A and B are shown apart, each in its own frame.
Chain A
Amino acid sequence: MKFTLRGKSRCRSLALVASAAVAALTLAACGGSTGGSQSGGSAGSATSGTVDWWGWTPTDTATAKGYIDAFNKEYPNIKVNYKLVSIPDWQAALTPALRSNSGPDVFDIQPGAYVKYKSFTEDLTPVISKALGSDWKSKVAPVGVDGLTADGKLTAMSVGAVYSGTLWTNPALFEKYNLKPPTTLDEWEKVCQAFKAHNQGCFVQGAAGEGFDQDTLQAIANSVQPGLWTRASKGEAKWNDPGIVKTLDIWHQLFTRGIMQPGAVGYQQYPDANNDFLTGKYAMVMMGTWYTQYSTEKAMTAALAAAGVSGAKPFPILPMQFPDVAQAGNTSEMFGDSDFGLAISTKAKNKAAAETFVTWLTTSQVGQQAVADQLDDVPALKGVEPNFDTIKFVHPATQQAPVKGLLTKVTSVTEPRFALLSQDVQDAILQAATSTATGKATPQQAADTLQQAAEAAAK
């Protein structure tokens, strides 16, 4: 079919109209394409209004609701809406939301790579100074400040911290087979052989995900040469330092000596490894202080239900020191960061109400006590401790002392977890971990590749 000339002319007219519409769309889209750091929103009232809070944690809305309910006892006229976004979807959801005018007023920020959202956050230094005084830095945990500060700007106020470098065990399984938690790599191998002989899983890890691989690698590195991992993270040591090569070699041995479960590099820590541990398939799992919450009856029951175990009785779990896998006599020290801080968007619709909520949860005794009592995060405000009189453990006689000991121990932790690592370096660490685990690369080759990636990322 052919168009006549006149038809073409009319067609052109219509095409012009369409083009104009497209141009309008283009301009509109271009208008919102870059930038996004401009301050907007309004101050509003500090005691009334609505605050939209987005986060990947608290991972259950009941915990967030608990915080909000406690907040509303003091500020009944501020309505806080919590929107839980799963970790894998977090960046995909948050970035366009912040760039638009319909994003959250308050959102979670994790130290490290996520501080990239700094252009969308208010500097909260004046807010925390107002709440805690000019010496505010002495009143909060340092890990909650450094990791959330970028370009001299406090992008978020830490709610609490998490620390890693520990294993959690199912003591009933150890008792059942008359075994003791391992303290060295050789013992770990023997314990796993013993469990295997009884057709019982030993240690489970989701080695497909970068964060948890990093935890295990950092714990191994702290056994090989304490502090080396942190120095490499800071760029003060190379990632192909002999200590890191040995770390990757021991990591490889976890697979070849039957410690890591079969198919670990295809496992996700959540839900795979977590569910397998909670359903008793494995006796040990690599988890940090956030797992403390599952020592309580309430959280353990909810976790079992989430793992698909209906009607199961909660069982006690215990933290254990990461084994001295290098067998060099070093204690593998823990490491940690702020779990998350609350940032206030530059486009917040009601900044005053948002400040009230953020200040209450991160700096008030009541807010921080609510955080402490969840046993999920270690409170950011110094001096706030969980109220163990009200916390109901699954088996208080065996759990209370180790849990208290763990929470006391982490107060002296100085090594960061993710705060020093860019996303590119984290990805390179994952690649080094999986290529070593699968035998695709030797520890030396993987370490060299990691160093190259870190150098490229630093450019």
Chain B
Amino acid sequence: MSATSATQSELRSESVTTTGGRRRTRRLRPRGLPWILPALVLCVGLIYYCIGYTAVISTWNWDGIDPAPEKVGVGNYLRIFQDPIFWKTIEHTVGFFVVTFVIQTALGLLFAVLLHSKVRLAVVYKVIIFIPVVLAPAITAPVFRRIFAPDGQFNWLLEHVGLGSLAQPWIGQESTALPVIMAITIWQWTGLTFVLYFAAIGQIKPSILEAARMDGAGNVRTLISIIWPSVRGTTLAMAILSAIGALKTFDVPYLVTVGGPNYATEFLGTYIYRKTITQSHVGYGAALSIILLVLALVMAIILQVRGRERSVMR
């Protein structure tokens, strides 16, 4: 039996089952379990176990080596809430999420709309926009360190276009280091936003767009009233991904600024690493990790629920 016919057969069985056959239900349903068992064991055994073990460690005062860790209950959590650097990381994360999400969404949608019109060499533009997504931060970070160095190419460019007065050590001062990290992230992930919006716009029925045109809607009105509402699901997905991505941000700030200067680009991820690995406060780092997990879950639930509410209202 070919794979296709087997699948069709399965689908037929499934169809019959859901319409009534109780015996078939019993016989067929559990057949799927062996297929998910490896993933189940892996997820429960590896990921959920690790989460559970991290929660246990978060109640210890432990350097990661001492065979007899000191149990401190919720002591680490209480210290975290009094830790100014922790609050700084939260502040950075919120600002980072808002700025990167808004700009990525705007740019991604703009590129997607433009490339859905009849643009010459569209494929080339698509590739150019998407390439940063596939580049590893480990490769791009040293390049950005060089570009934004005091004698780097960005300052060189500013000087050569008559804006030499704006030249400054971009990653060497607190006021500009975080915006640089945001700019790098936007450069890296706009390609993904673009691809998702490009696909979503492709799902809009041409007849709806034609009807809008016939009703006299111009480009901007069509974008605002037809396209933007039609890609709401994609925007919601991007919001969730961006929010979780902001909470998990590690590679770019760690590789470009090592969380500095003076914690100006410290995020939860880099702070967890600093506490756990560099400073050997493994219990404290574990408590930070649990807080990160809770924040990610809460963020995803809020965005999901808000998205559903809006869908229902519409």
Residues of A within 8 A of B (CB): 1, 3-4, 6-7, 10-11, 14, 17-19, 21-22, 25-26, 29, 33-37, 91-92, 95, 98-99, 113, 116-117, 119-120, 208, 261-268, 272, 281, 423-424, 427, 431, 434-435, 438, 440
Contacts and interface: CB of A to CB of B under 8 A. Distances in A.
B302 interface: no
Contact of B65 (A4, A6, A95, A264): A95
A266 B49 contact: no
The residue among B64, B150, B262 with the most chain A CB atoms within 10 A of its own CB is B262
Contacts of A116: 63, 65, 280
Contacts of A98: 65
B208 to A, nearest CB: 33
Nearest to A427: B279
Interface string B259-297: 011100000000000000111100000000000000000
A423 B169 contact: no
Contact of B172 (A1, A267, A424, A440): A267
Interface stretch (B22-30, B106-114, B219-227, B232-240): B22-30
9 contacts: A6-B26, A7-B26, A25-B46, A25-B49, A91-B278, A262-B172, A263-B170, A263-B173, A438-B262
Given A7-B30, A434-B260, A440-B262, A266 B177 contact: yes
Contact of B49 (A1, A22, A438): A22
Contacts of B34: 14
Contacts of B169: 262-263, 266
Interface string B76-112: 0000000000000000000000000000000000000
Contacts of A113: 280
Interface of B: 18, 22, 25-26, 29-30, 33-34, 37, 40-41, 44-46, 49, 53, 63-69, 145, 149-151, 168-174, 177, 257-258, 260-262, 277-280
Contact of B149 (A33, A263, A435): A263
Contacts of A17: 37
A107 to B, nearest CB: 13
A21 B41 contact: yes
A262 B150 contact: yes
B174 A440 contact: yes
A210 to B, nearest CB: 9
B263 to A, nearest CB: 8
Given A7-B25, A18-B40, A281 B151 contact: yes
A438 B150 contact: no
Nearest to B258: A208
Contacts of B262: 265, 431, 434-435, 438, 440
A119 B37 contact: no
Nearest to B52: A26
Contact of A264 (B22, B40, B172): B172
A440 B279 CA distance: 23
Given A3-B29, A266-B171, A266-B172, A18 B67 contact: no
A426 B169 CA distance: 25
B277 A265 contact: no
Given A423-B279, A435-B262, A21 B30 contact: no
A17 B38 CA distance: 11
A22 B67 CA distance: 24
Contacts of B29: 3-4, 7
Contacts of A438: 173-174, 261-262
Given A22-B41, A424-B279, A427-B279, A29 B65 contact: no
Contacts of A21: 41, 45
Given A18-B40, A116-B65, A434-B262, A11 B33 contact: yes
Nearest to B282: A95
Given A21-B41, A34-B66, 7 more contacts: A4-B26, A10-B33, A95-B65, A116-B65, A263-B168, A263-B172, A266-B260
Contacts of B172: 262-267
Contacts of A208: 257-258, 260-261
B220 to A, nearest CB: 42
A427 B258 CA distance: 14
A440 B278 CA distance: 24
Nearest to A113: B280
A2 B26 CA distance: 11
A22 B171 contact: no
Contacts of B280: 91, 113, 116, 423
A11 B33 CA distance: 8
B150 A263 contact: yes
The 4 closest A-B pairs by CB, nearest first: A263-B169, A263-B172, A266-B172, A265-B261
A214 to B, nearest CB: 15
A427 B85 CA distance: 13
A263 B169 CA distance: 5
Contacts of A440: 174, 262
A18 B37 contact: yes
Nearest to B152: A263
A263 B64 CA distance: 35
Nearest to A268: B258
A36 B22 contact: no
A92 B49 CA distance: 21
A36 B67 contact: yes
A261 B174 CA distance: 16
The residue among A10, A37, A266 with the most chain B CB atoms within 10 A of its own CB is A266
A6 B69 CA distance: 46
Contacts of B63: 116
Given A21-B41, A119-B65, A266-B171, A29 B53 contact: yes
A35 B63 CA distance: 12
Contacts of B261: 208, 265-266, 434, 438
Given A36-B65, A116-B63, A438-B174, A265 B45 contact: no
A272 B151 CA distance: 12
Contacts of A1: 18
A440 B264 CA distance: 11
The residue among B30, B64, B257 with the most chain A CB atoms within 10 A of its own CB is B30
Contacts of B174: 438, 440
